[in-house]
């Protein structure tokens, strides 16, 4: 199993599985699909690439994989430039586009054998690689079936197998769970987690909990520009006002609102229901002890004191709603 996921040694001194993007711009006529973006992906990272439709995610992925040439800027994959070393880069990347590229009239085993040949795997090694991919992607039950008869979940598994069959150090996955049911999503998520232990993975998705569950780091792109880059927790703390606290007391809460403001506590929301004033507060530090003491000092009847974390959906809406 280790051989399935262990990447070959690098030949130019650059760490295997490294992506360096500098000032990348990709234009289609007067339209800039990607606008002067810069980021790095380190070896062994699982990076979630998020953005609304048309934000530039797929275009960026296609440039990294060598299928598009940048209008401006540079993209290096393991130290090689996508302009000069396109074929060498493609050998080091496994790519799963959003529309899984399968020959549906072929039997699963025959298709994988065909892909292995196209990827230059020696004939005597193809059977072993197919066996390894079958085990890694859970394809035992469908090897003898035509791809056209498979469920979408199994077709995605076949797509992942073709992306990995040549043992690349980097995987680029564009919407790998698109259109899958909840059980299939969990299966593909677990497979991506397993792959991510040994390979660099960049994946785009609209399913934000998937990113939170699977990714070490998140890049958010909006209108062709990177608007956020960090771990899920860091983005939640920095872009949704830090820690949020639900704080409720009896009464109309006018005094409490004034006191909280005096203490510099940010009031995000305030409403009154059934003689109870309900606040949503935010702070970059834990203020629960302070809020409890304020209730004691001012004889407020405290009915709720609960800290909640923001989530990536909050971050995404905040950064891409403009």
pLDDT tens digits for 204-218?
A: 987 787 788 789 999
What is the spatial distance between Cα 88 and Cα 97, in angstroms, rounded to a whole number? 19
Its CATH class, for the domain covering 2-230, is: alpha beta
Q: How far is CA 272 from CA 84, 249, 258, 262, 292, in A?
A: 64, 10, 15, 21, 20
Q: Whole-model pTM?
A: 0.77
What is the spatial distance between Cα 319 and Cα 322, in angstroms, rounded to a whole number? 7
User: Within 10 A of 180 (CB to CB), how many other CB atoms are there?
Assistant: 20
User: Within 10 A of 258 (CB to CB), how many other CB atoms are there?
Assistant: 10
Confidence band (pLDDT; 50, 70, 90) for 14?
low
Domain extents in the chain: 2-230, 238-320
Kindly tell me if the per-residue pLDDT of 286 is higher than 80.
yes
Q: What is the mean predicted confidence (pLDDT) over 72-97?
A: 95
3-state class (DSSP) for residue 284: coil
pLDDT of residue 165: 94
pLDDT of residue 242: 58
pLDDT of residue 13: 53
Kindly tell me if the per-residue pLDDT of 11 is higher than 50.
no
Kindly tell me if the per-residue pLDDT of 1 is higher than 70.
no
Kindly tell me if the per-residue pLDDT of 317 is higher than 90.
no
User: pLDDT tens digits for 126-182?
Assistant: 999 999 999 888 899 999 999 999 998 899 889 989 999 999 999 999 988 877 778
User: pLDDT tens digits for 168-185?
Assistant: 999 999 988 877 778 878
Kindly tell me if the per-residue pLDDT of 81 is higher than 70.
yes
Confidence band (pLDDT; 50, 70, 90) for 7?
very low
- Residue 147: partners with Cβ closer than 8 Å, 6 or more residues away: 102, 103, 104, 105, 106, 107, 108, 111, 155, 158
Q: What is the mean predicted confidence (pLDDT) over 243-259?
A: 91
Which architecture, in CATH terms, is 238-320? 2-Layer Sandwich (3.30)
127: nearest Cα among 145, 112, 147, 142: 112
């Amino acid at each position: 199993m280790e051989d399935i996921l262990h990447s070959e040694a690098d030949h130019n001194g650059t760490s295997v599985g490294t992506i360096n993007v500098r000032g990348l711009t990709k234009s289609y006529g007067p339209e800039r699909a990607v606008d002067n973006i810069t980021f790095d992906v380190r070896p062994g990272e699982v990076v979630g690439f998020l953005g609304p439709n048309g934000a530039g995610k797929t275009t960026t992925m296609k440039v990294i994989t060598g299928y598009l040439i940048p209008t401006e800027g540079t993209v290096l994959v393991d130290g090689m430039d996508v302009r000069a070393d396109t074929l060498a880069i493609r050998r080091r990347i496994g790519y799963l586009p959003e529309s899984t590229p399968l020959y549906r009239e072929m039997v699963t085993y025959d298709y994988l054998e065909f892909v292995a040949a196209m990827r230059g795997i020696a004939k005597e090694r193809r059977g072993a690689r197919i066996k390894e991919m079958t085990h890694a992607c859970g394809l035992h039950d469908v090897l003898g079936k035509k791809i056209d008869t498979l469920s979408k979940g199994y077709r995605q598994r076949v797509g992942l197998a073709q992306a990995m069959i040549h043992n690349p150090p980097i995987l680029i996955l564009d919407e790998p769970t698109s259109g899958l049911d909840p059980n299939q999503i969990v299966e593909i998520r677990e497979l991506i987690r397993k792959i991510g232990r040994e390979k660099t993975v960049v994946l785009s998705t609209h399913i934000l909990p998937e990113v939170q569950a699977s990714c070490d780091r998140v890049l958010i792109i909006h209108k062709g520009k990177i608007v956020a880059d960090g771990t899920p927790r860091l983005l939640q703390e920095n872009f949704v006002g830090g820690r949020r606290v639900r704080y409720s007391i009896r009464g109309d809460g006018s005094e409490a609102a004034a006191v909280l403001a005096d203490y510099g506590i940010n009031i995000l929301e305030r409403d009154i229901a059934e003689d109870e004033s309900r606040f949503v507060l935010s702070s970059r530090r834990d203020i629960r002890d302070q809020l409890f003491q304020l209730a004691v000092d001012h004889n407020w009847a405290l009915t709720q004191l609960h800290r909640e974390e923001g989530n990536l959906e909050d971050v995404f809406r905040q950064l891409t709603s403009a």
